[in-house]
Amino acid sequence: MNNDRSCAIIVSNNIPELPENTKLGISKLNVLRQRIDLFKQDPQLFIEVDEKANGEISVLKLKGAKASSQYRATSPATIKYPTEISDIEIKKVFISREQGQMILSASRAMGSKKITINVKKNNDVVIELFDKTNDLFTISLDQKAEDLGESSTSNVSYYFTDVFSPLLKAATDENDVIALTICEASARIAVGGYDLTILAPMGDD
C-alpha cells in the first residue's frame, strides 16, 4: 500500500516461500529495488539474511562476485497493510488501448485532479475529466460495461488522476483492451500479472 493509502497491491501468485515462522517486512520497495539494481550486471548475486530470535529477518545482505550491500528490513508488526480487500464488485469496464492513450493525454492537457467513470443504466460508459475552472472533457468508451452485480444499475465513481493514470498507462502498454473492475469503494486493474487495487477517495478530499 502506498503512503497516502490510495493504492494497494494484493499479491497471490508467485510468492516466494519463507521457512516456517520466518517473517519479513519491507517498507520501502523502491529502496530495495535500487539496491538490487546495483548488481544487475552481476550473475553471481545472492542474498543472505540476519534473523532475530523471534523469526523476524532484520537485514538482507546482497552479495555479488566483488561487491556487497545491505538492506535493513522493517518489523512486520509496524507495517499496517490489508491482507485482503473485501469489496462488492459492481461493473467491469473495458478501455481500448487507443482510448486509454487519449484519456492519458486528456488528463495531462486538462490538469485534472480526479477522473470520473460514469456507467449509465444501459451500461454505456463515459469518462470525465475537469480542469481547475470546471471545463469538461468527456470520452464515450467503445464497449459497454458488464454487470457484476445482481441487476443493471447506473454507477458513478472517481479516482485520483495521479494514482489512476500511471496504472492505466502501464496497462495500455501491455494490453489491447484493459479490463477495469469497479467495486463499491475501489477499482481493480491487472498490471504485470498482478491485481492492483485503486482505492476511491473518501469525501471531497
Do 141 and 195 share a domain, yes or no?
yes
Helix (H) or strand (E) holding 173: helix 161-174
Do 30 and 59 share a domain, yes or no?
yes
Do 107 and 138 share a domain, yes or no?
yes
Do 102 and 193 share a domain, yes or no?
yes
Indicate the residue among 78, 104, 120 that finishes a domain.
Answer: 78
Model confidence at 91, in pLDDT bands (50, 70, 90)?
Answer: very high
45 occurs within a structural domain: yes
HEC sequence for 146-194: EECCCCCCCEEEEEEHHHHHHHHHHHHHHCCEEEEEEECCEEEEEECCE
**The pLDDT of residue 98:** 96
Model confidence at 25, in pLDDT bands (50, 70, 90)?
Answer: confident
Do 61 and 26 share a domain, yes or no?
yes
Do 107 and 158 share a domain, yes or no?
yes
Residue 130 near residue 114, CB atoms below 8 Å: yes
Q: Across the chain, which distance is largest between two alpha carbons, in Å?
A: 63
Q: Using DSSP, state whether 132 is helix, strand or coil.
A: coil
Indicate the residue among 33, 57, 78 that finishes a domain.
Answer: 78
Instruction: State the residue range of the domain holding 68.
Output: 18-78
Model confidence at 4, in pLDDT bands (50, 70, 90)?
Answer: low
Do 130 and 174 share a domain, yes or no?
yes
pTM, rounded to two decimals: 0.64
Q: What mean pLDDT comes out for the span 72-89?
A: 73
8 occurs within a structural domain: no
Count how many domains the chain has. 2
Do 66 and 103 share a domain, yes or no?
no
28 occurs within a structural domain: yes
**The pLDDT of residue 6:** 54
Q: What's CA 120's distance to the chain center, in Å? A: 26
Q: What mean pLDDT comes out for the span 98-105?
A: 96
